[in-house]
Amino acid sequence: MIAHDRKKESLLGWVSSNIAYLKPHKLVATKTTGDLLLEHIDGLSIATLKSGPMGGDQQIGALIAEEMLDLLIFFTDPLSPHPHDVDVKALTRLATVYDVPFACSPKIANLVVQSGFLGDHR
């Protein structure tokens, strides 16, 4: 799980609302996003990587390339500039190349949950 700064609260709300679906899974997040989720949501187990600009996006991309990630939840902020934009683009490209579902907003993440996909990929 990843969220740009302006989308972190949105991801926190989404995770809180979908905790029952997420708890059975091995979750991975970039550092700042993962720390926020761990601080506010009890009982959630998340492996945190580096922050996005410090290589966390690339670490998530490596997990995709190694076929160790079933779903990318990345709440993006397309209206703000990001100094590591090339890493973000590379990450979304890898999700597409490896056919990993990519939820970039709460409504898309809800569709993934409602589809039953999470139940099929533990």
> Looking at residues 62-86, what average pLDDT do you find?
89
Active-site residue identified among 35, 57, 87, 99: 57
Query: Residue 10: which pLDDT band, with cuts at 50, 70 and 90?
Result: very high
- Residue 33: CB atoms within 10 Å: 28
- pLDDT at residue 122, as a whole number: 41
Among this protein's residues, is 85 annotated catalytic? Answer: no
- For 73-89, b/e burial (b = at least 16 CB within 10 A) is bbbbbeeeebebeebbe
Q: Domain containing 113 — which CATH number? A: 3.40.50.1380
Q: What is the mean pLDDT of the chain?
A: 91
- Residue-wise pLDDT for 16-64, tens only, equals 999 999 999 999 999 999 999 999 999 889 999 999 889 999 999 999 9
State the pLDDT at residue 83: 72
The domain of 27 spans 2-120
Tally of structural domains, the chain: 1
Q: What is residue 30's DSSP assignment?
A: -
